[in-house]
């Protein structure tokens, strides 16, 4: 892989992206990318699925913008910094293949998903299909509607390692004449399994069912096209795989759904119309300085390219699994041999307490992985990012072997 030369960005002035420029290939190029990120310390950060550090250029853009906002907040935030937002939406629309006027910017996936969950008009007796593997607070949102309004939240059960065909068959079997919405998680945050969203949305459309896709983990980690997925709502956090500052999210609403969907908070302007009613403007006062980091994050990400990023994340996952898989009792709870593989995977070791393993890795070796428990499965989630090197994963594997060797002694 050859990384293109990178010019200084338009935002975050004074902070060139130069560390990743150059005609280097392979591991050397990734060394240069690592140098463009804040140093991770004291822990080796293998929990990027939760939240990722922003590249230095993004960090600097936020600092610059924050200093600017402090001078004259009202004018500098709403008039100066926000003037860049239409262009930022255009760039995001280009990345995810939707129209700029279908995008609302907000703080995170939870906000975007809650907009859909609480905003889609439903009446008592209407059914919503969920899976056991959806993000817990999103399931809780639908369950709250069940309690408050008498809709029915129906859990469609399937094994998370099941084939795509079996998953589609499970959803198909769960659809009834009362099904109005399908809540679909693009990639499970538990184990990195990607669902066949395009086919599931086609199934939903055939039954006139609205689809809400939780893309918190897929956007910017792998190529995603809103048009191709064919969903009604797509939601993501820009602070995970895009590398935007923490506190940035994106909600995409298909034009045909905008008018009938209620906004999360009642908008300032009445009557309200169009995508604006879901936008940050109508979610109370927000921090424009954080949004000033989106454009440099897009630029940084685009210079590397989403296909290169996805391929690298797959490579890193396959690499660490290759180092660990001969440990006695090692079990991977993530499908490895698929093009959908990304940076998120879950493992456990038979007869080893995963919670204790997480603690030992952290306290003894300064390695940060995430304990996850859902339904009958528990284990440790590993999620590297593009600023990590294979040598980091060597460190992790050595630490893992050491802890396991001494476990129970
Ligand atoms: C699949 C999924 N959905 C929703 C969320 C919530 O994201 P946020 O905390 O950015 O709102 C996450 C966060 O990890 C997630 O992984």
Cα 52 to ligand 1 centroid, rounded to whole Å: 12
pLDDT value of residue 10:
37
The pairing of beta strand 377-382 with beta strand 370-374: antiparallel
Model confidence band, residue 77 (pLDDT cutoffs 50, 70, 90): very high
68-297 matches 307-406 in fold: no
pLDDT value of residue 25:
60
Is ligand 1 within 6 A of the CB of residue 115?
A: no
Mean pLDDT of 10-25: 44
pLDDT in tens, 164-184: 999 999 999 999 999 999 999
Is pLDDT at 237 greater than 60 in this prediction? Answer: yes
The phi and psi torsions of 179 (rounded to 5 degrees) equal -70, 125
Is pLDDT at 337 greater than 70 in this prediction? Answer: yes
Q: What is the mean pLDDT of the chain?
A: 93
Question: Among 82-96, 99-113, 141-155, 264-278, whose mean pLDDT is lowest?
Answer: 264-278
Q: Which atom of ligand 1 is nearest to the CA of 239?
A: 10
Cβ partners under 8 Å of residue 41, min gap 6: none
pLDDT in tens, 280-303: 989 999 999 999 999 999 999 999
pLDDT in tens, 345-357: 999 999 999 999 9
CATH 3.90.1150.10, domain 307-406, yes or no? yes
Instruction: Give the domain ranges of the chain.
Output: 68-297, 307-406
Alpha helices in 50-188 (DSSP H): 56-71, 73-75, 85-96, 109-119, 136-149, 164-174
Is pLDDT at 18 greater than 50 in this prediction? Answer: no
The phi and psi torsions of 373 (rounded to 5 degrees) equal -140, 125
Cα 148 to ligand 1 centroid, rounded to whole Å: 24
Residue whose CA is at the smallest distance from ligand 1 atom 14: 50
CA–CA dist 155, 216 (Å, integer): 20
Is ligand 1 within 6 A of the CB of residue 346?
A: no
Q: Which residue has the tokens 């859909």?
A: 116
Model confidence band, residue 26 (pLDDT cutoffs 50, 70, 90): confident
The pairing of beta strand 330-332 with beta strand 345-349: antiparallel
pLDDT value of residue 166:
98
Q: Which residue has the tokens 């890193």?
A: 316
Tokens of 215: 């893309």
Model confidence band, residue 331 (pLDDT cutoffs 50, 70, 90): very high
Cα 110 to ligand 1 centroid, rounded to whole Å: 6
Is pLDDT at 15 greater than 50 in this prediction? Answer: no
Tokens of 13: 């002035």
Cα 393 to ligand 1 centroid, rounded to whole Å: 25
The pairing of beta strand 127-130 with beta strand 152-155: parallel
Mean pLDDT of 309-320: 98
Is pLDDT at 59 greater than 60 in this prediction? Answer: yes
pLDDT value of residue 9:
35
pTM for the whole thing?
0.94
DSSP annotation of 72: S
Cα–Cα nearest to 153, from 212, 72, 207 = 212
- For the chain, give the number of residues: 409
Is ligand 1 within 6 A of the CB of residue 236?
A: no
Tokens of 94: 């280009």
Model confidence band, residue 407 (pLDDT cutoffs 50, 70, 90): confident
Is pLDDT at 11 greater than 70 in this prediction? Answer: no
pLDDT in tens, 390-405: 999 999 999 999 999 9
Model confidence band, residue 363 (pLDDT cutoffs 50, 70, 90): very high
Mean pLDDT of 211-234: 98
Model confidence band, residue 27 (pLDDT cutoffs 50, 70, 90): confident
pLDDT value of residue 13:
42
Cα 216 to ligand 1 centroid, rounded to whole Å: 5
Is pLDDT at 7 greater than 90 in this prediction? Answer: no
Residue whose CA is at the smallest distance from ligand 1 atom 2: 216
Cα 374 to ligand 1 centroid, rounded to whole Å: 15
CA–CA dist 381, 26 (Å, integer): 26
Is pLDDT at 115 greater than 90 in this prediction? Answer: yes
State the CATH class of domain 68-297.
alpha beta
CA–CA dist 329, 332 (Å, integer): 10
Q: How many Cβ atoms from other residues are within 10 Å of residue 196's Cβ?
A: 17
Cα–Cα nearest to 364, from 404, 403, 323 = 403
DSSP 140-163: HHHHHHHHHH--EEEEPP--TTS-
Question: Among 34-48, 126-140, 261-275, 387-401, whose mean pLDDT is lowest?
Answer: 261-275
* Radius of gyration over every alpha carbon of the chain, rounded to an integer in angstroms: 22
């Amino acid at each position: 892989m050859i990384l293109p030369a990178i010019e200084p960005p338009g935002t975050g002035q004074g902070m060139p992206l130069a560390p990743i420029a150059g005609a280097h290939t392979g591991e050397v190029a990734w060394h240069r990318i690592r140098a463009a990120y804040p140093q991770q310390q004291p822990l080796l950060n293998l929990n990027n699925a939760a939240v990722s550090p922003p590249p230095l250029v993004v960090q600097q853009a936020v600092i610059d913008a924050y200093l600017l906002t402090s001078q004259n907040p009202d004018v500098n935030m709403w008039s100066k910094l926000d003037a860049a937002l239409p262009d930022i939406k255009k760039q995001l629309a280009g990345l995810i293949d939707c129209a700029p006027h279908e995008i609302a910017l907000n703080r995170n996936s939870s906000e975007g998903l809650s907009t859909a969950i609480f905003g889609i008009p439903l009446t008592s007796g209407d059914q919503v299909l969920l899976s056991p593997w959806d993000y817990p607070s999103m399931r809780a949102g639908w369950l709250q509607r069940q309690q408050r309004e008498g809709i029915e939240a129906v859990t469609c059960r399937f094994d998370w390692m099941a084939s795509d065909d079996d998953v589609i068959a499970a959803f198909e079997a769960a659809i009834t004449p009362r099904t109005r919405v399908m809540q679909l998680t693009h990639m499970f945050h538990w184990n990195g399994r990607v669902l066949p969203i395009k086919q599931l949305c086609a199934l939903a459309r055939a039954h006139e069912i609205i689809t809400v896709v939780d893309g918190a983990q897929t956007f910017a980690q792998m190529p995603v096209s809103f048009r191709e997925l064919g969903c009604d709502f797509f939601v993501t956090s820009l602070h995970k795989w895009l590398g935007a500052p923490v506190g940035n999210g994106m909600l995409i609403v298909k034009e045909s759904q905008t008018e009938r969907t209620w906004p999360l908070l009642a908008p300032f302007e009445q009557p309200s119309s169009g995508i604006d009613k879901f936008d940050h403007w109508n979610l109370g006062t927000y921090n424009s300085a954080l949004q000033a980091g989106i454009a440099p994050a897009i630029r940084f990400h685009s210079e590397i390219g989403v296909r290169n990023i996805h391929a690298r994340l797959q490579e890193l996952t396959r690499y660490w699994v290759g180092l660990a898989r001969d440990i006695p009792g090692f079990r991977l709870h993530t499908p490895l041999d698929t093009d959908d593989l990304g940076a998120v995977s879950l493992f456990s070791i038979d007869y080893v307490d995963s919670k204790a393993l997480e603690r030992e890795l952290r306290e003894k070796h300064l390695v940060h992985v995430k304990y996850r428990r859902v339904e009958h499965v528990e284990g440790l989630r590993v999620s590297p990012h593009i600023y990590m090197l294979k040598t980091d994963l060597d460190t992790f594997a050595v630490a893992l072997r050491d802890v396991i060797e001494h476990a129970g002694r």
